[in-house]
Structure 1
Amino acid sequence: MGEVLDRPTTPAGPRAGARAAMPDCARRLRLCEAAAGVFLRDGYAAASMDEVARVAGMSKRTLYQVFPSKAALFEETIAATLVPIALDTDLEREPDLRRALTGILVAAAEHLLAERQIGIFRLVIGERHRSPELAAATHRVLTARGSSVLERRLATEAAAGCLALSNPGTAARMLYGMVLGSAQMRLLLGVRDPPRRAEIVALAEEAVGLFLDGAAPRGQQAQAAGRR
């Protein structure tokens, strides 16, 4: 049976006094949403499971049934916050390579450079000495997802002979770094505001242009140089 909420605390929940079953996936997501807010407000060490349960509108017993420890809750909160980048799956199959790469990079940047995601990274960095397990959990989450949409698309193009790449994974990380690196560092330091979409799009377009010029097969590079 799903969780029975007698006193929901969010507008999206059922009306006060109503009894509603909540699917397990929705319960986990709700707890992670509540936990993200508590962790960001109080810090990892000071955050309490009691407060997470209260914010989520659930009992502490239910919280521990879903997440046996604060460490387990934090790791899934990281996964829910950082990993599910809202990419249009059609981008991976977009025929126009330049448009596909640009769209993937824009979606990734808009997600990872948002205020909450930057806050999570700051939290992990700030508490790395008191709670080194946070960095290990973050690394596990980010590596467990396997190859990214960007890496898979680059691998497909390389296999077809359309790009000259020795390692699509390395190429994908380089592209992400070109678009995310500088802005992410300045956001972590608190010396700039999150970039607007127009800025992200312009940066992604320039990065993709430079990348495609460099990764084109040798014959295509020579033809492009001749045209210039």
Structure 2
Amino acid sequence: MSNTALAQKGAEDQSKPSRGRPRDVEKNRAIIDAASRLFLENGFDGTSMDEVAKRAGVSKQTVYSHFSSKEQLFGESIHITIEKYFPDQALQEVRSHTLEADLTAVSMRFAHLLMSQDAMAMHRVLVSAAPRGPELAQIFWEAGPAEMIVKLSAFLKYWVDKGELEIDDLEKAGARLISLLKGKPHFEMEIGLRDSVSDDVLEAHVVDVVKCFIKLYRKS
């Protein structure tokens, strides 16, 4: 299947904040990796640019030459993590493209993200920061989930245009798919009833979600 439909939203990516300086990709990557781990380990307030520099093996000046603030670095670390789970990445693994096969691949990839230990750790970071106001949550939302919904909308539009799905509000349908993918397993992890979700349980959960979603939106 062509990824043309998924690429239609590409122009919107150009409006995103600068993602560091391409002049030194290796250092940029090291800074982001170090920051990502520190944010998960220590939270946003507990992470300093000095610590990021030390963990990345660069100077503090180098960190600031790539990222103007800790907030920008936080947003970029979220974006880099989540973009690996975008639909176009999942579709590269599908050999025979059907609605069911593609939706399952996309859903499975994103479910792995939702149920990951890093996702749970980030949830705790955001919850702990919530009393201070919505600023950090807004950065997180714009850097990751909002773009994921845009990508899902483009993916769903492809199948609407193919005549297999009937969806009036693509963004709402994308958000609904994410909510369905969370379901009981995600809730149990959030409250500490389970540490992880086995591959068998996750696969069965995704199969049920895909069936439910297609039943909701299959064009009659």
Q: Is the shorter-chain TM-score for this pair beyond 0.5, marking a shared fold?
A: yes
State the Cα distance separating 1:98 from its structure 2 match. Answer: 0.8
Aligned partners of 1:167 and 1:209: how far apart in 2?
A: 19
In structure 2, what is the equivalent of residue 17 of structure 1? none
Which stretch shifts more, 188-197 or 56-65? 188-197
Cα separation, 1, equivalents of 2:199 and 2:193 = 18
Trace 1:187-206 onto structure 2 (pairs within 5 A). 187-206=189-208
Tell me the C-alpha RMSD between the 2 structures: 2.4
1:100 partnered with 2:97: no
Give the TM-score normalised by structure 2: 0.78
Residue 153 of structure 1 is aligned with which of 155, 174, 193? 155
Q: Which residue of 2 aligns with 1:170?
A: 172
Q: State the SS of the aligned residue for 1:129.
A: helix
- The aligned amino acid for 2:137 is A
The 1-side partners of 2:182 and 2:23 are apart by 35
Deviation (angstroms), 1:132: 3.5
> 1:32 corresponds to which residue?
32
Secondary structure of residue in 1 paired with 2:71: helix
Structure with bigger helix share is 2
Kindly tell me: are residues 211 and 71 of structure 1, through their superposed partners in 2, closer, same or farther at Cα, counting changes over 3 Å?
A: closer
Q: Distance in 2 between matches of 1:153 and 1:48?
A: 38
AA partner of residue 98 (structure 2): D
**Does the 8 A contact of 2:91 with 2:105 survive in 1?**
no
Question: Partner letter of residue 47 of structure 1?
Answer: T
- The offset of 1:182, in angstroms, is 3.1
| Aligned residue runs from structure 1 range 179-194, under 5 A | 179-194=181-196
Count of equivalent residues: 196
2:118 is aligned to: 116
**Distance between the aligned counterparts of 2:43 and 2:166, measured in 1?**
45
Does 1:63 pair with 2:66?
Answer: no
Report how far residue 94 of structure 1 moved: 4.7
Deviations 1:86-117 (A, max 9, x none): 63333689522111111110011112321112
With normalisation by structure 1, the TM-score equals 0.75
Q: CA offset at residue 42 of structure 1? A: 2.0
Aligned to 2:143: 141
Deviations 1:109-161 (A, max 9, x none): 1123211122112201211223642111012113245622x432321222232
**Would you identify which runs of 4 or more consecutive aligned residues in structure 1 move more than 4 Å?**
91-94
In the TM superposition, 1:68-79 aligns within 5 A as: 68-79=68-79
Tell me what 1:50 maps to.
50
* C-alpha distance in 1 between matches for 2:176 and 2:215: 14
Give secondary structure in 2 for the equivalent of 1:190. coil
**What is the identity percentage for the equivalent residue pairs of Structure 1 and Structure 2?**
26
Of structures 1 and 2, the one scoring higher in RCO (CA 8 A, sep 6+) is 2
Structure 2 distance, partners of 1:214, 1:144, is 23
Aligned residue identity for 2:76: E
Structure 1 unaligned residues grouped into runs of 5+:
1-21, 219-228
User: Which residue number in structure 1 is paired with residue 4 of structure 2?
Assistant: none
